[in-house]
Chain A
Amino acid sequence: QKEVEQNSGPLSVPEGAIASLNCTYSDRGSQSFFWYRQYSGKSPELIMSIYSNGDKEDGRFTAQLNKASQYVSLLIRDSQPSDSATYLCAVNAVVGGAQKLVFGQGTRLTINP
């Protein structure tokens, strides 16, 4: 079982609709969760971080965390063509004070005008 799993897509959503991206993780002790956006040929850009169960909203983005189900999601409201990118879910694994991000394979999102 992979440590962090995402649906690789591609996920196609019409412009103006809600895009929903999902991620599950295997380490029940994980405490920090992140969503990165990566445009083709670019490096990952941090767009959301979430640490507590529930929802966290930032503009058109909402991250949702359910630690009991080991599930993280990202909602993008009013999707725009500029949202077309690969979205990476990452979980911070901390062992003995050292940290590392464990990434899912990413979901490729396409917003259709």
Chain B
Amino acid sequence: KAGVTQTPRYLIKTRGQQVTLSCSPISGHRSVSWYQQTPGQGLQFLFEYFSETQRNKGNFPGRFSGRQFSNSRSEMNVSTLELGDSALYLCASSFFVAGDYNEQFFGPGTRLTVL
């Protein structure tokens, strides 16, 4: 079974630009979560989507947004990029069922550099 895929793998942008990252979950997985990883803050939760609905959102400014499509693929968008947005953006998918026992599997990530 194919794993989680993310595109693009690397991006270089300048301050003020916007960027869109894409994630395709493992086949059959309907929950997609996004995380930001930086050396200083570690792995931070951005948001989670399930059945095209954002169910949970982390403590990030409104410049960070996302969406999920009917095939469970997800995109996240960052507008008005700042230097501090340079990070590894990770997507994780899970076969979510009601309850608390859901393993999340990560994609390879998108390395975003803001100049």
Question: Number of A residues contacting the other chain (C-beta, 8 Å)?
Answer: 27
By a CB distance below 8 angstroms, the chain B residues around A42 are 108
Q: B-side binding surface: helix, strand, loop or mixed? A: strand
Contact A101 B92 (CB under 8 A): yes
Judged by a CB distance under 8 angstroms, whether A88 is at the interface is yes
User: Residues of B at under 8 Å CB distance from A?
Assistant: 31, 33, 35, 42-43, 45, 48, 50, 55-56, 58, 88, 90, 92, 94, 96, 98-109
Additional 15 contacts, C-beta under 8 A, given A46-B103, A101-B104: A31-B100, A32-B101, A42-B108, A43-B107, A51-B101, A92-B102, A97-B55, A98-B48, A98-B55, A98-B56, A99-B55, A100-B45, A100-B48, A101-B45, A104-B42
With contacts A32-B102, A92-B100 taken as known, whether A44 is within 8 angstroms of B43 at the C-beta atoms is yes
By a CB distance below 8 angstroms, the chain A residues around B92 are 101
Mark each residue of chain A from 82 to 113: 1 if its CB lies under 8 Å from any CB of chain B, else 0. Answer: 00000010101011111111111110000000
**Shortest distance in angstroms between A26's beta carbon and chain B's nearest beta carbon?**
16
With contacts A92-B100, A99-B56 taken as known, whether A45 is within 8 angstroms of B106 at the C-beta atoms is yes
By a CB distance below 8 angstroms, the chain B residues around A96 are 55
User: Residues of A at under 8 Å CB distance from B?
Assistant: 31-32, 34, 36, 42-46, 49, 51, 88, 90, 92, 94-106
With contacts A43-B108, A46-B105, A101-B92 taken as known, whether A95 is within 8 angstroms of B56 at the C-beta atoms is yes
**Shortest distance in angstroms between B52's beta carbon and chain A's nearest beta carbon?**
14
Contact A101 B108 (CB under 8 A): no
